[in-house]
């Protein structure tokens, strides 16, 4: 029997690649996106791969939209076995520039959207005594970076949320939690993040421009060079998500490249997959 998977943010990039790849590996894929007008790219990719995906509307910032989508899938399939929280949005802007509405938007899309989707699937997964929840974070969820403080803060929140859930829901209800931490991904996501940062080629506040110039120059050099493996393709990261979705005992956290491992080594070298920390937390609080 095929496992039923719900994936958020599938109109392009990593979400699209993951939807098609999981369908190729015998998952029943429900590929969600906020704007169904953008579904053709996914449908074309699925057709080219010789697979079928079910496109559904879901806006991670809207609880009613999430609950409607989840309930419809459960009504049709009887269950959701895997949730992949992929929807998110990049954001690079100094704290001096950010508006109150932007603060809320960054957290809403990148953190609260994940929580809303998990909350929606938990009752059914708990009742069936099994489930898998994969939250796509970033190396920015482990290591703060210039101009990315709000985005990193949101992803730090995803990391703590996932780790906390793993300390008690896996043993009690058979629901496995994994946070996947890519480095840079060459996709529309990166272009969107930078578009929100720059207006007419400069930042709003001139004193930050020399720092931004260094930041952007380094980003372009790494992207162009390729030899340091800073950036991965969406397809490469999608393969990691497939591995986690298919594993008998998935890790609590997982980087997606050698570069990401090296970049986060000061934070992760003592406990690369998060198992030791979770076991220590269980011993402290639940023994």
What CATH number did the domain enclosing 172 receive? 3.40.50.720
**Range of the structural domain that residue 171 is part of:** 3-285
Quote the pLDDT of residue 227.
47
CA dihedral over 249, 255, 261, 267, signed as positive or negative: negative
Q: What would the two tokens of residue 157 be? A: 């929140």
What residue spans of 25-166 are helical by DSSP H?
A: 40-49, 63-77, 100-107, 113-128, 149-166
- CA–CA dist 12, 9 (Å, integer): 7
Q: Provide the domain count of the chain.
A: 1
From the list 151, 161, 208, 231, the catalytic residue is 151
Backbone angles phi, psi at 38, to 5 degrees: -100, 10
- CA–CA dist 228, 268 (Å, integer): 20
User: Three-class SS string for 238-259?
Assistant: HHHHHHHHHCCCCCCEEECCHH
Q: What is the pTM of this model?
A: 0.93
Q: For the chain, give the percent of residues with pLDDT over 70.
A: 91
Check if 151 is active-site.
Answer: yes
CA 149 to chain centre: 17
Contact 85, 137 (CB under 8 A): no
pLDDT tens by residue, 93-151: 899 989 999 999 999 999 999 999 999 999 999 999 999 999 999 999 999 999 999 99
- CA–CA dist 52, 22 (Å, integer): 10
pLDDT tens by residue, 14-35: 999 999 999 999 999 999 999 9
């Amino acid at each position: 029997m095929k496992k039923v998977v719900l994936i958020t943010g599938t109109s392009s990039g990593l979400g699209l690649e993951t939807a098609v790849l999981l369908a190729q590996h015998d998952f029943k894929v429900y590929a969600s996106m906020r704007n169904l007008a953008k579904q053709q790219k996914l449908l074309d990719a699925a057709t080219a791969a010789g697979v079928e995906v079910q496109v559904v509307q879901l806006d991670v910032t809207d609880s009613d939209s999430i609950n409607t989508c989840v309930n419809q899938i459960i009504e049709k399939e009887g269950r959701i076995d895997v949730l992949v929280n992929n929807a998110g949005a990049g954001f690079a802007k100094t704290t001096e520039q950010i508006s109150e509405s932007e603060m809320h938007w960054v957290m809403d899309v990148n953190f609260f959207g994940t929580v809303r989707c998990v909350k929606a699937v938990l009752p059914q997964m708990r009742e069936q005594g099994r489930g898998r929840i994969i939250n796509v974070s970033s190396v920015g969820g482990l290591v703060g970076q210039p101009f990315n403080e709000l985005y990193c803060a949101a992803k730090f929140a995803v990391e703590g949320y996932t780790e906390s859930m793993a300390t008690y829901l896996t043993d009690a209800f058979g629901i496995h939690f994994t946070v996947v931490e890519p480095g840079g991904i060459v996709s529309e996501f990166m272009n969107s993040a930078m578009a929100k940062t720059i207006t007419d080629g400069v930042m709003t506040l001139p004193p930050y421009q020399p720092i931004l110039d260094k930041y952007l120059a380094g980003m372009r050099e790494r992207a162009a060079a390729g030899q340091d493996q800073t950036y991965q393709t969406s397809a490469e990261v999608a393969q990691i998500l497939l591995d986690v979705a298919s594993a008998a005992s998935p890790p609590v956290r997982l980087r997606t490249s050698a570069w990401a491992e090296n970049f986060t080594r000061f934070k992760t070298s003592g406990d690369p997959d998060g198992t030791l920390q979770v076991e220590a937390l269980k011993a402290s609080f639940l023994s």
